[in-house]
Structure 1
């Protein structure tokens, strides 16, 4: 593709979980490529913060509060995008949560929380988005999975189950809509220095060795998991999202941006 083929000028995008972290990086990359981007998140404050970041890049934006676990909330989100902007071209289903728990201690509430947001939420979003995209005969859906959707991690059986599920669902849906001008792909981030990993409550904090600081644990895990030895960034995920939004013949794939983790 040439530089001009990566233009999203005139396209309308929606990013769930777009208020911070990977979602914000994706939203800003889409805006930089020319798209107008609607930010949806579970609080109004997060959504508005993400929308302000898009507007600062000179693109139109809007902030929507959504609970991706609830069909009515998801339907209202998609309807609001179409009402304000006339159409929906690109949907990035990025909202997600993580928690830690060994298989013997994992509670049903933890399981349900992760599955409901990470998997049920993506299903509901895809369903509502395709209802709009099929009549258009155009759409690009990008579902955020994870490297944990390709390789299981200890203490993350529920998270891996949700992310493996996203990949399988993405592949199946892609086949259903392949002749409708709609592509459906999964983006699999590796180790990104956002809330899931960083801080005392993130994985690097919880997986720190005795006497090891969170920062030391973060550096160690980059060296353990990544052949490149360097963590990925939200902007890296945004670059892949822009590519997928521009690629008409890439569909049903689970593409890892992981510094070589899955080699």
Structure 2
């Protein structure tokens, strides 16, 4: 294989039906991988899988609830039955909500921790079991710049994403001699649901009388040395790199336009 070729590799992306996950899945496919798309509804999974087959790669849509061990196990069993192995796993499924620490509900805390952190644990556990059979694997867990720097109104989200980084670093050391690397991807400011719209951060943090669009533009300038938001395709480029890199493991790599410098 060429240095950045994934020809013949079998990849799985959770939360791969839209947004960052879709960008990652399609980047893997363009690099040559067959990409299985898992998401929490049949529709999202099928939309993601259709985008992969349109790129000329094999795919499969899998409905999964990453909070539930039985659902995650069924996902990995489906991968093994269909393809016999799993080379690359991108654990990208995640949720976000906004609220100050005193306003956060017990249910909001649990939902974010359950999906973002427990979901990564359960997925990694099942994936490593399959990858150890082949003595090869690349696991990429989605964290965030909010896993490196705390954001107001996102304490629960930051807690989950800081947790992903610590978990990733720890298990990378456990599987380091099994041919498996484990890294975390830390997206910066991407124009998806967490940021955009009146209920996103750019809406919440708008100055009096400022439109959401103007707030979005202003916050790109405030936070990003490059002054430009990142894209799902930017995240896909980093994932492709982590999928081919043999000696990069236990890292939390940011794609954030210089925010975390």
Normalising by structure 2, what TM-score?
A: 0.99
Return the alpha-carbon distance in structure 2 between the equivalents of residues 83 and 50 of structure 1: 20
Residue 22 of structure 1, CA deviation: 0.3
Deviations 1:136-192 (A, max 9, x none): 100000000000000000011100000000000000000000000000000000000
**CA distance in structure 2 between the aligned counterparts of 1:135 and 1:81, rounded to whole angstroms:** 14
For residue 214 of structure 1, what is the aligned residue in structure 2? 212
Give 1:237's aligned residue: 235
Deviations 1:29-56, CA, capped at 9 Å, x for gaps: 0000000000000000000000011111
How far apart, CA to CA, are the structure 2 residues paired with 1:194 and 1:59?
Answer: 26
Counterpart for residue 51 of structure 1: 49
Deviation at 1:200, TM superposition (A): 1.6
Q: Select which of 6, 9, 23 maps to 1:8.
A: 6
2: CA distance between counterparts of 1:23 and 1:207?
26
The residue aligned with 1:91 is 89
Q: Distance in 1 between matches of 2:124 and 2:150?
A: 25
Number of the residue aligned with 2:34: 36
Cα drift, residue 110 of structure 1: 0.4
Work out the number of aligned pairs and report it. Answer: 261
Shift of 1:79: 0.7
Matched, 1:136 2:117: no
Structure 1, residues 97-151: CA drift from partner, whole Å, max 9, x if none? 0111111111110000000000000000000000000111000000000000000
Name the CA distance, whole Å, in 2 between partners of 1:188 and 1:63.
25
Cα distance in 1 between the residues matched to 2:205 and 2:81: 46
Measure the CA separation in 1 of the matches of 2:215 and 2:74: 42
Residue equivalent to 1:17:
15
Name the counterpart of 1:194. Answer: 192
Instruction: Give the 3-state SS of the residue equivalent to 1:4 in structure 2.
Output: coil
Distance 1:31 1:154 in 2: 36
What is the aligned partner in structure 1 of residue 120 from structure 2?
A: 122
SS class of match (2:178):
coil
CA shift, 1:210, in A, is: 1.2
Shift of 1:199: 1.4
Unpaired runs of at least 5, structure 2: none
Secondary structure, counterpart of 2:35 in structure 1: strand
Aligned to 1:71: 69
Q: 3-state DSSP class of the match of 2:161?
A: helix
Report the Cα distance in structure 2 between the residues aligned to 1:156 and 1:202, rounded to whole angstroms. Answer: 11
Q: Partner of 1:100: helix, strand, or coil?
A: coil
Poorly superposed stretches of 4+, deviation over 2 Å: none
2:162 to 157, 161, 164: 164
User: In structure 1, how many angstroms separate the alpha carbons of the residues matched to 2:241 and 2:66?
Assistant: 25
1: distance between equivalents of 2:123 and 2:141? 10
**3-state SS, counterpart of residue 172 of structure 1:** helix
Distance 1:215 1:191 in 2: 14
1:70: Cα distance to partner?
A: 0.1
Query: Helix, strand or coil: the match of 2:3?
Result: helix
- Cα-Cα RMSD: 0.8
